[in-house]
Amino acid sequence: MPALSPTPRRARYTTRFAACDADLRAAQRLRWRCFLADDTGGAGEDADAFDPICDHLLVETRDGGRLVCCFRLLRLGPGEIARSYAAQFYDLAALESFEGPMVEMGRFCIDAEFALDPDILRLAWGAMTRYVDDHGVQMLFGCSSFQGTAAEEYLDAFTVLQARHLAPKRWLPRVKAPDVFRFAKLLRRTPDARLAMKRMPPLLRTYLAMGGWVSDHAVVDRAMNTLHVFTGVEIGAIPAARRRRLRGLEGGARRLSD
């Protein structure tokens, strides 16, 4: 796929899709550092059977081409959600009746040295918006991860999810994984809203701002050392103000060939 161009304001970075095995391996190495590396050092690659069937979006520094952010996108047609990565952990039978094209967004990560730069997230979402438009996507979904597997560290965040952001019953994912935290059933408390937002993963906050919803339970993924919730966004239900903002970000990810 062709490169995606930065706006002058964000000229520090460029976005493009992986075009070769070396690009993919670079993304896998960044994912490993973000998700799997520990204090022992060393280097590795986070790779699985989904990588060959996905498009991989790369955000790089304009000077030097250093990879600072990546994520992968899996396009699915109606009734194909069982092919997704998330389907390993959630019973998604209800979503098999969703009639429009879908995209699963996964393995989103930002290099720790660049994690505080908001332009990276903005540029990534601009590229995502362009991708959604190009392919007529009607639902965006994925697994939103909390770092670590100690649910008690995120009780305020989970309480807010339970109170305000559960999936509509017609789409609600059911339990499939053997180890889950059923926060919607277990939590009956008044949350600290400020702390809840502070502990909410940035990617999940963005999904929720678009009108996204989550499963009623979190999967305890010890292999990745995360708690994650299934997260869905129906494109047609994104609030108008947020849609306009995304369109503005999309302008920062126009293809060089346009």
Answer whether 228's CB lies under 8 Å from 143's CB. yes
Cα(182)–Cα(227) distance, integer angstroms:
12
Here the tokens at position 29 are 């190495």
Cα(84)–Cα(104) distance, integer angstroms:
7
Q: Does residue 44 belong to any structural domain of this protein?
A: yes
pLDDT tens digit sequence for 124-177:
989 999 999 999 999 999 999 999 999 999 999 999 999 999 999 999 999 999
Band the pLDDT of 252: cuts 50, 70, 90: low
Q: Does residue 204 belong to any structural domain of this protein?
A: yes
pLDDT for the residue numbered 251: 62
Here the tokens at position 44 are 């590795």
pLDDT for the residue numbered 116: 84
* Beta strands at 213-214 and 90-91: parallel, antiparallel or unpaired: unpaired
pLDDT for the residue numbered 255: 41
Q: Does residue 195 belong to any structural domain of this protein?
A: yes
Q: Does residue 3 belong to any structural domain of this protein?
A: no
Band the pLDDT of 45: cuts 50, 70, 90: very high
Structural domain including 46 reads 8-253
Band the pLDDT of 190: cuts 50, 70, 90: confident
Cα(69)–Cα(58) distance, integer angstroms:
6
pLDDT for the residue numbered 153: 93
pLDDT for the residue numbered 233: 96
Domains identified in the chain, total number: 1
User: What is the phi/psi pair of residue 71, to 5°?
Assistant: -160, 165
Q: Does residue 60 belong to any structural domain of this protein?
A: yes
Q: Does residue 65 belong to any structural domain of this protein?
A: yes
- 198 to each of 155, 195, 204, 228, 250, how far by Cα in Å? 12, 5, 11, 16, 27
Q: Does residue 233 belong to any structural domain of this protein?
A: yes
Answer whether 160's CB lies under 8 Å from 183's CB. no
The burial class, CB within 10 Å (0-12 / 13-18 / 19+), for 235 is buried
CATH number at residue 136: 3.40.630.30
Here the tokens at position 234 are 């129906």
Band the pLDDT of 248: cuts 50, 70, 90: confident
Per the listing, tokens 């520090």 go with: 12
Q: Does residue 189 belong to any structural domain of this protein?
A: yes
pLDDT for the residue numbered 253: 53
Band the pLDDT of 43: cuts 50, 70, 90: confident
Answer whether 213's CB lies under 8 Å from 168's CB. yes
Answer whether 45's CB lies under 8 Å from 24's CB. no
pLDDT tens digit sequence for 65-89:
999 999 999 999 999 999 999 999 9
User: How many CB atoms within 10 Å of residue 139?
Assistant: 22
pLDDT tens digit sequence for 191-241:
888 899 999 998 899 999 999 999 999 999 998 899 999 999 999 988 888
The burial class, CB within 10 Å (0-12 / 13-18 / 19+), for 243 is middle
